[in-house]
């Protein structure tokens, strides 16, 4: 059995990635990823995620400028465990909601220490992409994420209030050097 590691998305993890996606859908996450479509053509999905110029992070297509994003997966042996998205730069939306680094562990693998490990493993990659200090934004109700980020030595900047459309966010800066 090997240690967990961050890798570029790969078709080798298709089965466990799709099983994880089913878990995510049950918590209303990643609903824009169609499981049927992905299972029919996983190769194209992986190719897009591995784009040499970065995957286009564009969650609010009409009114937010897209930014390039490097996507990596935390895996152990043949199993997909979680995803780290690293945005190469911020736009006005990511400055408030999203930040440079977003981590997500599949629900069945949570509370086993993977979230904490995954964030630490992502920092040299962020630095390689030219980010010295990365912004992390967290919903104040997300106790697990707050514990991970505060234990990583990240510096608290402020807490933005809820708006009509978006939840409150605690903002932290983490040193990637
Ligand atoms: C946030 C998230 C990444 C945490 O991943 P995880 O693998 O469950 O976290 P870990 O097992 O590394 O636990 C980290 C810490 O949080 C604590 N924790 C875990 N679940 C918790 C919960 N529900 N409530 C309070 N604390 C919790 C753990 O005890 C641990 O603290 P400790 O090391 O001091 O004991 C995961 O819940 C997730 O993917 N959530 C959905 C996406 C998300 O919210 N991402 C964060 C935005 S950046």
- Report the DSSP pairing between strands 55-57 and 67-76: antiparallel
Choice among 46-60, 93-107, 134-148 with the minimum mean pLDDT: 46-60
User: Average pLDDT of 78-103?
Assistant: 95
d(Cα 138, Cα 99) in Å, to the nearest integer?
9
pLDDT grade, residue 72 (50/70/90)? very high
**Cα of 146 to ligand 1 centre, how many Å?**
8
Q: Look up the pTM and report it.
A: 0.94
Ligand 1 pocket residue status of 113, Cβ below 6 Å: yes
**Which atom of ligand 1 lies at the shortest distance from residue 99's CA?**
48
**Domains present along the chain, CATH in parentheses:** 5-175 (3.40.630.30)
**Cα of 116 to ligand 1 centre, how many Å?**
7
Ligand 1 pocket residue status of 149, Cβ below 6 Å: no
Contacts of 157 (CB under 8 A, 6+ apart): 171, 172, 173
With contact defined as beta carbons under 8 Å apart, do 73 and 82 qualify?
A: yes
Which of 117, 144, 151, 172 maximizes ligand 1 atoms within 8 Å of its Cβ, making it the mutation to test the pocket?
144
Ligand 1 pocket residue status of 118, Cβ below 6 Å: no
pLDDT at 1: 67
Sign of the Cα torsion 29, 30, 34, 37 reads negative
Other C-beta atoms closer than 10 Å to the C-beta of 19 total 14
Other C-beta atoms closer than 10 Å to the C-beta of 167 total 15
């Amino acid at each position: 059995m090997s240690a967990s590691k961050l890798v570029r998305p790969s078709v080798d993890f298709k089965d466990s990635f799709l099983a994880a996606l089913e878990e995510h859908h049950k918590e209303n996450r990643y609903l824009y990823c169609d499981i049927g479509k992905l299972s029919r053509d996983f190769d194209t999905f992986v190719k897009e995620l591995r784009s040499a110029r970065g995957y286009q992070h564009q969650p609010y297509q009409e009114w937010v400028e897209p930014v390039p994003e490097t996507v990596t997966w935390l895996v152990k042996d043949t199993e997909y465990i979680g995803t780290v998205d690293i945005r190469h730069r911020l736009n006005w939306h990511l400055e408030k909601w999203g930040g440079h680094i977003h981590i997500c562990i599949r629900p069945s693998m949570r509370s086993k220490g993977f979230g904490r490990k995954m964030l630490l493993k992502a920092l040299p990659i962020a630095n390689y992409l030219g980010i010295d200090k990365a912004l992390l934004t967290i919903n104040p109700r997300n106790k697990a994420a707050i514990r991970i980020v505060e234990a990583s030595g990240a510096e608290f900047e402020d807490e933005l209030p809820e708006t009509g459309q978006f939840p409150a966010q605690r903002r932290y800066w983490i040193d990637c050097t």
